[in-house]
Amino acid sequence: MNEFELWNLLQEGDEAAFAQVYHQYVDALYGYGQNLGYEAADIEDAIQELFVKIYHKRGQYQTVKNLKVYLFIALKNTLLNKRSKVKVIELNPELHDAEEASMEEKWILKEQSQIDRQLLKEGIAQLSPRQKQVLYFRFFKTMSFKQIAEHLQINPQSAKNIAQSAVKKLKAFLTLLTLLVLLFS
């Protein structure tokens, strides 16, 4: 049986013709994939993908004049499609240095954040208990001044005043520390 007849039978759904095409060309396709420089696993996957596609789309193909050439081209296209889906990672020393610098910057920012938290704790320690309460309700519980006033049984204006004086005290404390660091560094 020639390739033309074999292809036509395959297109009509003949399972034996399909099996014959597979067995007749699988080794040649594998060798062709190796000559193109692909890995064995990729070649095997591509051959399987190619024949699954041929099987599912049988009856939809046009007449093929040279089955071997058609299969080789189809395999090459399948392999190229598989390769384009793989994300290529290029090693670039400049990118590595930038990433390393980025990690260093993240570490510095984390360290600075810890220092800032510690300074804020020390500043809060300088506040009166009432100021601590108001700031806690305002910034951690996100309560309005009216809610804070009701909770502490004071008027809303007093709650605002306490919050403002606490914030001023914290700013003064942090400014003083910043000046001291600048003077002694």
Nearest Cα neighbor of 18 from 65, 67, 62 is 67
Given this model, what pLDDT does residue 87 score? 47
Structural domain 3-85, CATH architecture: Orthogonal Bundle (1.10)
Give residue-wise pLDDT tens across range 72-121: 999 999 998 877 654 444 555 555 555 555 677 777 777 777 877 887 78
CATH 1.10.10.10 domain locations along the chain: 117-184
Query: Residues spanned by CATH 1.10.1740.10 within the chain?
Result: 3-85
CATH of domain 117-184: 1.10.10.10
Show the DSSP H helices in 36-155 as ranges: 40-56, 67-85, 93-125, 129-135, 145-152
Give the predicted TM-score (pTM) of the model.
Answer: 0.45
**Counting Cβ atoms within 10 Å, is residue 91 exposed (0-12), middle (13-18) or buried (19+)?**
exposed
Q: Tens digits of per-residue pLDDT, 140-184?
A: 888 999 999 998 999 999 999 999 999 999 888 878 877 776 777
